[in-house]
Amino acid sequence: MARVYNFSAGPAVLPEPVLKRAQKELVEYGNAGMSVMEMSHRGKDFMAIAEKAEADLRELMGIPSNYKVLFLQGGASQQFSAVPLNLAAPGQKVDYINTGSWSKKAVAEAKRYTSVRDAGTTDGTNVPTQAELDLDPEAAYVHYTPNETIQGLAFDYIPDTGDVPLVADMSSTILSQPIDVSRYGVIYAGAQKNIGPAGLTVVIVREDLVGKAREETPVLLDWKTQVDADSMYNTPPTYAWYLAGLVFEWLKDLGGLSGMAEINRRKAEKLYAAIDDSGIYSNPVAPHVRSWMNVPFLLNNPDLDNLFLEEAAKQGLSTLKGHRSVGGMRASIYNAMPEEGVDALIDFMADFERRRG
């Protein structure tokens, strides 16, 4: 059985060299005489793995020294709760920009803890412009989703929020291109797209925003607990952390995030061009805010959806079914999706159109 091109939105394809290296090191890591999975998180071998992963992530993203980097569990969804608990007093106003399904989930959770203002809402095919944002200078923070994984919608700018900290759910776009971390108060991301396997959540938080959690915050959700314990207040997801470290090394070997961004732009542009130039596929998102990572598309005849998926799977093009809430197809083309995988998908789509369109 050969490896397929896996277009899953997450857990998603991992770089093959990373998997091969993990395979080589699986049973015995270095001279440790045991697998990374079997090591104490406080032993010197794992501590070295953990420190190198953080150093490499800092280098890749250019994370300034006044930011803490946390390697946690609970997924991005747990940060939907942690963000208001850490940053807003009960009832304090917070601003949320709402551009799609994941923004909505973040809003719903924040509403349980504080007073959420709508700083700008769209229908999932565009983002509000800076001028359209309705920001309250008194808000405790502004939250947004730079890349909506389900809608395939990505901000083409970083919102300017003045002195109000900007919080970003970067789950499906982190590491896909260089960003200016200093524009953010908090960045968080579930790992299972561009970082590594599921089970790990990365939180990057500016120092001055740590230590403000309200009193009833569960101890594991308080960023200060985790900052003070170097993400080891309790047992961290050690193997996922190690694999993330291998992904960071792979990215560094490829020349870092600007090289990756060039490849990502090329992959996305050719796939959108194939959709726009076709007679049977369409994508509703405004061209300037189309995601480089998640490319949803509809067939003009939805009765052909299942046939499309079956025939694609036979060509080794896997997991193209769109999210159940929007239907159609979705090709997630994260960093680890090789350009050849996108080329193979484009060829298949053209062939399918010739035969069935």
Find the binding residues for ligand PMP in span 15-44 (CB under 6 A): none
Whichever of 79 and 283 has its CB closer to ligand PMP, that residue is: 79
For ligand PMP, the closer CB: 144 or 248: 144
Sheet of 294-299, strand order: 281-282, 294-299, 329-332
Interface segment toward ligand PMP; rule CB under 6 A; list 118-126, 169-177, 257-265, 312-320: 169-177
Residues 86, 149, 238, 291: which binds ligand PMP (CB under 6 A)?
149
Is residue 192 marked as binding? Answer: yes
Size of interface with ligand PMP, in residues (CB under 6 A): 12
Per-residue tokens: 111: 């509403």
- Binding to ligand PMP (CB under 6 A) within 269-328 occurs at none
Q: From the CB of 72, what's the least distance to ligand PMP, in Å? A: 11
Catalytic residue among 68, 193, 224, 267: 193
Contact residue for ligand PMP among 54, 95, 109, 169 (CB under 6 A): 169
State yes or no: 241 annotated in a binding site. no
Question: Per the annotation, does 235 bind a ligand?
Answer: yes
Q: Is 8 in the site for ligand PMP (CB under 6 A)?
A: no
Would you say 35 or 73 has its CB closer to ligand PMP?
Answer: 73
Which CB sits closer to ligand PMP, 128 or 196?
196
> Closest Cα partner for 13 from 304, 311, 333?
333
Q: Which amino acid is at 354?
A: R
145 binds ligand PMP (CB under 6 A): yes
HEC string of the chain equals CCCCEECCCCCCCCCHHHHHHHHHHCCCCCCCCCCHHHCCCCCHHHHHHHHHHHHHHHHHHCCCCCEEEEEECCHHHHHHHHHHHHHCCCCCEEEEEECCHHHHHHHHHHHCCCEEEEEEECCCCCCCCCCCCCCCCCCCCEEECCEECCCCEECCCCCCCCCCCEEEECCCCCCCCCCCHHHCCEEEEECCCCCCCCCCEEEEEEHHHCCCCCCCCCHHHCHHHHHHCCCCCCCCCHHHHHHHHHHHHHHHHCCHHHHHHHHHHHHHHHHHHHHHCCCCEECCCCHHHECCCEEEEEECCHHHHHHHHHHHHHCCEECCECCCCCCCEEEECCCCCCHHHHHHHHHHHHHHHHHHC
* Cβ nearer to ligand PMP, comparing 99 with 225: 99
Annotated catalytic, 123?
Answer: no
Binding flag, residue 10, ligand PMP (CB under 6 A)? yes
Q: Does 177 bind ligand PMP (CB under 6 A)?
A: no
Amino acid at 77: S
Residue 102 annotated among the catalytic residues of the structure: yes
Catalytic residue among 56, 68, 95, 169: 169
Which residues in 71-100 contact ligand PMP (CB under 6 A)? 75-77
Residue 265 assigned as binding residue:
no
Q: How far is CA 249 from the centre of its chain?
A: 18
Residue 193 or 206 having the CB closest to ligand PMP: 193
Does position 159 interact with ligand PMP (CB under 6 A)? The reply is: no
Catalytic residue flag (residue 193): yes
171 binds ligand PMP (CB under 6 A): yes
Q: How far is the CB of 84 from ligand PMP (least distance, A)?
A: 15
> Binder to ligand PMP among 5, 7, 96, 102 (CB under 6 A)?
102
Q: Which residues bind ligand PMP (CB under 6 A)?
A: 9-10, 75-77, 102, 145, 149, 169, 171-172, 190
